[in-house]
Chain A
């Protein structure tokens, strides 16, 4: 049960509350560039989600099996040269960036070639976005987030497993899709508006992004609220509090009720 709550929270947080675009500013380039038409934006969102999932899968695997201290593969290889204890200490996390980007670039290119060859209609509709995704910060950011929850975590209970990693990727991609589709909807609408010439294009897109970001700030704390509702934390001791005075302008009407 707790596990599902965790998954739910990761999903909520990644897709809405800490939206990749409006909260972390990753994936801005396609957000500005490919949000002119809803269909294209949706295609881009799907492509990002897809690649993000592949990248998350690869990076989680590489991190767990190769990079972190005591990872099976590196420990196994090192075992030939040194003592098992020393082998278990080998920390390759310094290679993480280079490995992730390597994996992303390769998988993107592979998928692109594959789709181009075997699904030409699909390629025409969303394949054109694939090369753009190689340089999409959102993908690498997802990998880094996953790494930060796998490597260097004190509490072994908090280390993410593959399920959580994939949730982050899927819902992060969903959040990206939501953001870019909303923006594309608005930009289609803007075609019917009389935007001042200097603001046409990227400038107005960013300003609108800002307004949506303000609106999304309303979700701050929703994750902890949901967490509290779904997963009562047992070890927080009950805080005794005094009921607070509610201001009533006419004191004789004061019928403040303390909730049970």
Chain B
């Protein structure tokens, strides 16, 4: 591990432990981003981000235009929602998101003239994104604009971006890391974005850096994406943006691991990257930031990848947020008969779900459909033999088997002794476990137990 030294950066280009799952990105990596037509209805859950739900500001029967704010994030840690289509607001519906959350959602039926999605995508792709002259922008203005555009982290966690880039006097940020690792197997949306719209990414990075007053800007890409690296390097010429090539390893895209790999610092437990003087943002997020600042467009669309052997035509699609996943699947030619598991996100950290009426949300990075062969490969579950493979795999340096058993036998005291809260639920332990234990699920359960135990 130590042999690999990242040129020009304090970090080693990698982090201790971790795993190498087969990435299966070839399924969709070479598919150019397609644009999905405006859907008949969109369903916009009021909570698509981490934090407080936003407040609905339109009423049933009201007509809304493209990009109009329909939900306002009033709290600090919250994000507004904008309509991706022009249409009429219908009665609110209840939806169950793939992550299990049951929410109220604004339903909008398309009506009147629409702004075609193709236009938005072309804008992203072909605009001559500015490289210089950002000193005109006040950091606070950028932050306000980001907040007004309802931008959240598009890597999957959906943390409101304006909170992240809010200038902070106590914790100066000197590096902005733009995360283009996309370590999840199957997913390729960020890869496609980096290839097709590197300009937006570089501009977005510069703008975000301006907001947080970071001196250093690093775009991190794993070394299994040479094409993306080339394009980014080309786009970043004559700017302060640098491209760091990291070793391919899962979970390289996790914030803490990424910071460790690039800067060599560890983010304190329970802390934010800002505690290490770093801000981390996804490539798609910064591209959206660029669009929001330069073009004044809110976050209404995003690139997702639909992949896996269970889907007929794996694709990368530019979709309006709020379109139902069933439509997305239909767009990709439907499911194959041997498909058994539909996952929102990648196979390592995504959520399996069964209800395709759920909408695409800001945090949906993709849809992976696995077949029976891929899922049933493992043998039946046996008892943990304490082989310690999960310990070797855990990027957080935890003892997953102990955490899982503590949860299974309801021992929150033991679980907190073993630092259960530090777990990032990346799934490395379950992946390597020879006993096929559902370690991550148990640990998640353990966290609930620990919380209850500490409240007592």
Residues of A within 8 A of B (CB): 188, 191-192, 194
Contacts and interface: CB of A to CB of B under 8 A. Distances in A.
Interface stretch (B44-52, B218-226, B227-235, B405-413): B405-413
Interface string B397-408: 000000001101
**4 A-B pairs closest in CB distance:** A192-B405, A192-B409, A191-B409, A191-B411
Interface of B: 383, 405-406, 408-409, 411, 414
Nearest to B383: A194
Contacts of A192: 405-406, 408-409, 411
Contacts of A191: 409, 411, 414
Nearest to B410: A191
A188 B409 CA distance: 12
Contacts of B409: 191-192
A85 B270 CA distance: 81
A194 B411 CA distance: 14
Contacts of A194: 383
Given A191-B414, A192-B406, A194-B383, 7 more contacts: A188-B414, A191-B409, A191-B411, A192-B405, A192-B408, A192-B409, A192-B411
10 contacts: A188-B414, A191-B409, A191-B411, A191-B414, A192-B405, A192-B406, A192-B408, A192-B409, A192-B411, A194-B383
A247 B286 CA distance: 77
A87 to B, nearest CB: 63
Contacts of B408: 192
B168 to A, nearest CB: 41
Contacts of B405: 192
A192 B406 CA distance: 7
A233 to B, nearest CB: 47
B424 to A, nearest CB: 23
A157 to B, nearest CB: 52
B455 to A, nearest CB: 22
A188 B406 CA distance: 11
Nearest to B402: A192
A230 B137 CA distance: 83
B206 to A, nearest CB: 52
A191 B413 CA distance: 12
A192 B411 CA distance: 9
Nearest to B408: A192
Contacts of B383: 194
A50 B41 CA distance: 78
Nearest to A188: B414
